[in-house]
Amino acid sequence: MTKKHLPLLLLALAALGSLPFFLSGYWARVLTVMFMYGVIAQGINLMSGFMGYVPFGNAMFFAVGGYSTAVAMGAGIPFFLTLPVAACVSVVISVLIGLPVLRLRGHYFAVATIGVSGALMSVVQNVEFTGGAMGTTLPILNASPAQASVFFYLAMLGLLVVANVTTWLILRSRFGFGIRAIRANEDAANSMGINTTLFKVLNWSISAVLTSLSGSFYAYWMSFISPDEMFNVMIAVNAIVILLVGGLGTVLGPMVGAVIFQFVSEVAWSSFGHYHLAVLGVATIIIVALIPNGFVGRFLELRRKRITGQTEEGAR
């Protein structure tokens, strides 16, 4: 993104921010879920798209955010003050888990994150202050249904903007170059003086914070959460599919992928009912097969080719 793109992005953001005042409650909800998955996908994008580690168990941080907010609000803490609590808890857990688990690579790391998520879910199911296996309730937002719909829409949109800006800033920092060096060749990055352990744990902590905050907003939005819902591995699977559709390793890929995935999902559900998952799966396979680097990745590839072609013509 350059300065010339900023007015266009601000205009698009203003248009999105005004939509909940004109949309029906159904479509406001669809877009809110879309923004939420854009945030979760961006968190996974930091790990897999830029660092080469696929955290299939990243839903555990979604649950950490939701349960941190639920427990804190149950103790009388206002919602917005529970957000830093959720962020801090997710950082602590990501560091404690990351130090041993991030020594693994490839599918070993991916499977290990699923195992850790299952272990954490078992803990939540067997302690009283989280509500156990039955789940727990949160205070309901003191507003009308229409006002609540607008609030959560704008909150998820704002969180998506924060996630995208955070990723954009990271990529232009020394830290961003470090995590991309790890993806290219971790051993070479280590030999060049990059503290790969620190960079990996720090990157997972940032990913965990973004994911946990989306879980916090979701829990307050739903006002009831359960372990099976919050630790559902399909949260991470859907986010990874969104990344593949939008463009793995791009800043805007998660957002674009979330838009396409959510609308295809809604059309499939309204048209095919209980068979919508099969239709959605087939549609995803076709998109990934035809556009293997995602829509944003394909756009950037064509743009580079056009610029390269213009440069070569100018050189002649």
Q: Give the pair of three-digit tokens for residue 233.
A: 């591995």
CA 49 – CA 38 distance, rounded (Å): 14
Q: How many Å is the Cα radius of gyration of the chain?
A: 20
CA 225 – CA 218 distance, rounded (Å): 9
Q: What is the structure's pLDDT at 223?
A: 94
Better-predicted residue by pLDDT, 10 or 254: 254
The pLDDT of residue 293 is above 90: no
Reduced 3-state DSSP string for 170-192: HHCCHHHHHHHHHHHCHHHHHHC
The pLDDT of residue 209 is above 90: yes
Alpha helices, H only, the chain: 6-18, 25-44, 59-74, 79-101, 106-125, 145-171, 174-184, 186-191, 196-222, 227-230, 234-246, 253-272, 276-290, 294-315
Q: How many CA atoms lie within 13 A of 268 on its CB side?
A: 17
* Average model confidence (pLDDT) across the chain: 90
Q: What is the structure's pLDDT at 51?
A: 94
Residue range 215-230: mean pLDDT, rounded: 95
| pLDDT tens readout for residues 168-195 | 999 999 999 999 999 999 999 998 889 9
Q: Can you give the pTM of this predicted structure?
A: 0.92
Lowest-pLDDT range, 183-197, 267-281, 289-303? Answer: 267-281
Dihedral, CA of residue 22, residue 26, residue 29 and residue 30, to nearest 10: -100
Q: What is the structure's pLDDT at 5?
A: 67
Q: Which amino acid is at 227?
A: P
Q: How far from 149 is each of 20, 22, 23, CA to CA, in Å?
A: 8, 12, 10
Q: How many CA atoms lie within 13 A of 204 on its CB side?
A: 30
Q: What is the structure's pLDDT at 264?
A: 86
Q: What is the structure's pLDDT at 297?
A: 85
Residues 80/279, Cβ–Cβ less than 8 Å: no
Q: How many CA atoms lie within 13 A of 311 on its CB side?
A: 6
Q: What is the structure's pLDDT at 11?
A: 87
Residues 55/240, Cβ–Cβ less than 8 Å: no
The pLDDT of residue 63 is above 90: yes
Better-predicted residue by pLDDT, 117 or 307: 117
Q: What is the structure's pLDDT at 77?
A: 94
Residues 257/239, Cβ–Cβ less than 8 Å: no
